Amino acid sequence: MFDNTLFVSSFWSWYIILLTVPGIIGCFWLIIWMSKGRSKSDDEPVATMGHVWDETLEEFSNPLPRWWLGMFYITLFFGIIYLILYPGLGSFAGVLGWTEVKEYEAEMNAAKTQYDPLFDKFKSEPIEKLAQTPEAVKMGHHLYMTYCTICHGSDAKGVPGKGFPNLADAEWLWGDTPQDIEATIHDGRNPPEASAVMMAWKDTIGGEEAVKNVTQYVISLNSNRAAEVDKTVAGKGQEVYMTYCIGCHGPEGKGTPAMGAPNLTDDVWLYGGSKGGIETSVALGRKGTMPAHGEFLGPAKVHLLAAYVYSLSHGSESGKPQ
């Protein structure tokens, strides 16, 4: 078995030190050696290397110019001072105690001091009101473009068939109230704690045939897709649905927002509403995750972000960012 403790042992600290320190000493020796042969006066001839070309072309042993040597010395002394003050010699932290974590925290604290008041002034305002306030919506839009577009797209319409929901329509898995939206952003929706897990049902309900049957029944719940339905097969699927699916999606297939169970009677599908897509969902299950952003963003930014998301389906045009 691979032993990863080797990479956190003191060996690597000493390995770095034993490469760095002799390396610096070696550079000093090289500079001193290259300085030998300098003439004591301008009249004293410079020694040659004994190499002659074309009868009179000789190779002289001229030392490096003093300014060049000075630059080398400055570089080496700078390196030594740096390694004393800052981390660089293995596990030695440097006399200043500088770390990337401290630097990051200092920058974040400076940013909070400068920018948090801009967000905090909206913190106590109701989300419904902020969704109609152009300045608040614009700030929420900037937050959205920074943190949310990678999943939901720059237009907030999600990625159909890939499990990233459209935030600009009126369909919501967990409810569309301001409190629901803010809770989703702040705490996330992380199965199984959040309940919204679509189990893999293939083996439980009786295999592939049962999956096809219940898929036909689910399609039949949408009146606009009646032409796709085999009524005989859908009838068999109804029995399966009423036995295994009713607990989450309800007797009419309208879903249960409190559990994150989707409405099966509309044309909104996270993972695709085709026959094959539904069969895959039933057979293999689905487990979408919305990560929590509360700890990272803080309550004030979450509040503004929720207001922007709420404005996408509830706000007026005056509240849209320009």
Digit-coded pLDDT (tens) for 221-238 = 998 888 889 999 999 999
Tell whether omega for the bond before 192 is within 30 degrees of 0, i.e. cis.
yes
Strand (E) positions, 141-185?
none
Per-residue pLDDT tens for 51-80?
888 878 888 777 778 888 899 999 999 999
As given in the structure block, the two tokens for residue 166 are: 């459209």
Packing angle, helices 275-284 and 208-220, rounded to 10: 130
- CB proximity list for 187: less than 8 A, separation 6 or greater: 292, 294
Residues 144-165 have a mean pLDDT of 92
Dihedrals phi, psi of 48, to nearest 5 degrees: -110, 165
Distance CA 34, CA 36 (A): 6
pTM score, whole prediction: 0.69
Residues 256-282 have a mean pLDDT of 90
Distance CA 141, CA 128 (A): 15
Dihedrals phi, psi of 202, to nearest 5 degrees: -55, -50
- CB proximity list for 303: less than 8 A, separation 6 or greater: 119, 122, 123, 127, 130, 182
- CB proximity list for 80: less than 8 A, separation 6 or greater: 24
Confidence (pLDDT) at 319: 43
Q: Are 35 and 63 in contact (CB under 8 A)?
A: yes
Distance CA 260, CA 152 (A): 18
Residue 7: CB atoms within 10 Å? 8
Is the pLDDT score of 218 beyond 90? yes
Q: Is the dihedral of CA 149, 171, 290, 201 positive or negative?
A: negative
Distance CA 48, CA 50 (A): 5
